[in-house]
A and B are shown apart, each in its own frame.
Chain A
């Protein structure tokens, strides 16, 4: 279990690192552990305008497919192309090399959980 304190989280298990008006998004350790071996990431599209809570990309594990939701509204400005060849990075390094996409925030990033609140959510 791991809940880095410098990140924000959603109840749907995305993590968010906010730097200026750019948010980097991935899925939490808890989420990747629940999914099991990740074998494919259907990446977001650069330029796509996402609204908060809308599906942004898909993660396929051996057993199932899971949607990843936009934690805030904004435009996708970068995607993690390395996941095309190494989707297992989502398992091995969920908060680092397993990041999924970056968005330029259009409405700020309100309503997310801090690490303590997210941990409580996971352990509830």
Chain B
């Protein structure tokens, strides 16, 4: 199969990134090593190519109403703000998890998972309640995306622009010229639990952008970071990975995403089912587990008193905590922190305990 390249592919090759097939994209799983890259982001700053993510725009007088109907969170946010949200089916199953960026009163950028790009776009078009006044456009091919994450992320990006991006609050967003590339969209968002930015840039600006970021971050020992550390960083924060921890068979309430599910909002797809689920109480919850001795991997069975009760959805050894951490679904009665369960790891049982999220807390 022919793998798709992001505009930064040559940079990954030059940096000796180990390229893998990530859902049809040729992307680096690591450069120098997952643990070193993970610690770089936690200690100073790292740069991620996330250009495989999709960019769908909804624009027009009806855009606000359209987005409100499509997603679970209340997007009644001011221009210049972004928001994490889910997009659900009528049965409450998650179509995707997204970040919505409101760039103007009638202009929303929706960042979607790479693996769901086509599905999400079709879904938004098909379920657009106001097609006469809101247009849905997939501009994924026009945009590159870079995440600059870590305690020194803000200083790194600030050195590349005359716009006061350091003043952006968490989940704030604005347009800016960065590294000489006009028309960038910068946001104080990320998938690591660290401070920093995600920058959308016109794809044709990519060639000058990457080396400029590396230069600006050199004083902070910036490194490019692969998909491996992206996964360990997000897992330490209990950030969900679509396809692992959430999918069309799980609801936001089960996944602990009740905080982005605004049931008081009068209308959105999935509301009736989710309201009923909320009233009845969820039967299972996505929990954090610390596992003794061995690493639980996706699809390992979770046991209680010898009986299968659920499945692990993500698991690794946390480079920050040096503990084996996992996420998985358990019945609600077992979801309380401190609850002891077991995990069947390839035929042998390991003890595990439910812990409160996140696994990792940034030192203040």
Binding site for B on A (CB under 8 A): 36-37, 39-40, 42, 58, 60, 62-65
Secondary structure of the A contact surface, majority rule: strand
Contact status A60-B346, CB under 8 Å:
no
Q: B258 an interface residue at 8 Å Cβ cutoff? A: no
Contact status B33-A39, CB under 8 Å:
no
Q: Which of the listed residues B30, B35, B297, B319 has the most CB atoms from chain A within 10 Å of its own CB?
A: B35
A–B complex contacts, Cβ < 8 Å, 17 sampled: A36-B29, A36-B30, A36-B34, A37-B33, A37-B35, A39-B295, A40-B295, A40-B317, A60-B294, A60-B295, A62-B35, A62-B316, A63-B34, A63-B231, A65-B295, A65-B297, A65-B346
Contact status A62-B319, CB under 8 Å:
yes
- How many whole Å from B318's CB to the nearest CB in chain A? 9
Q: Total contacts A to B, CB within 8 angstroms?
A: 36
Interface band, chain B? 10 to 19
Contacts of A40 in B (CB 8 A): 293-295, 317
- How many whole Å from B9's CB to the nearest CB in chain A? 21
What residue of chain B has the Cβ atom nearest to residue A61's Cβ? Answer: B34
What residue of chain A has the Cβ atom nearest to residue B33's Cβ? Answer: A37
- How many whole Å from A84's CB to the nearest CB in chain B? 10
Q: How far is the CA of A37 from the CA of B34 in the complex (A)?
A: 7
7 cross-chain pairs, A with B, having the tightest CB-CB distances, nearest first: A39-B317, A62-B34, A37-B35, A60-B295, A37-B33, A37-B34, A63-B228
What residue of chain A has the Cβ atom nearest to residue B295's Cβ? Answer: A60
Contacts of A39 in B (CB 8 A): 35, 295, 317
For A36, give its contact among B33, B295, B297 (CB under 8 Å): B33
Q: Which of the listed residues A39, A40, A64 has the most CB atoms from chain B within 10 Å of its own CB?
A: A39
What residue of chain A has the Cβ atom nearest to residue B35's Cβ? Answer: A37
Contact status A42-B294, CB under 8 Å:
yes
- How many whole Å from A86's CB to the nearest CB in chain B? 13
Q: How far is the CA of A4 from the CA of B78 in the complex (A)?
A: 64
Q: How far is the CA of A12 from the CA of B228 in the complex (A)?
A: 24
Question: Considering the complex, which residues of chain B in the window 22-40 have a beta carbon less than 8 Å from any beta carbon of chain A?
Answer: 29-30, 33-35
Q: How far is the CA of A40 from the CA of B293 in the complex (A)?
A: 9
- How many whole Å from A19's CB to the nearest CB in chain B? 32
Contact status A62-B346, CB under 8 Å:
no
Q: How far is the CA of A64 from the CA of B34 in the complex (A)?
A: 12
Contact status A36-B346, CB under 8 Å:
no
Q: Which of the listed residues B35, B294, B295, B346 has the most CB atoms from chain A within 10 Å of its own CB?
A: B295
What residue of chain B has the Cβ atom nearest to residue A55's Cβ? Answer: B346
Contact status B228-A36, CB under 8 Å:
yes
What residue of chain A has the Cβ atom nearest to residue B36's Cβ? Answer: A37
Q: B232 an interface residue at 8 Å Cβ cutoff? A: yes
For B232, give its contact among A58, A60, A62, A64 (CB under 8 Å): A62
Contacts of B35 in A (CB 8 A): 37, 39, 62
Q: How far is the CA of A39 from the CA of B324 in the complex (A)?
A: 10
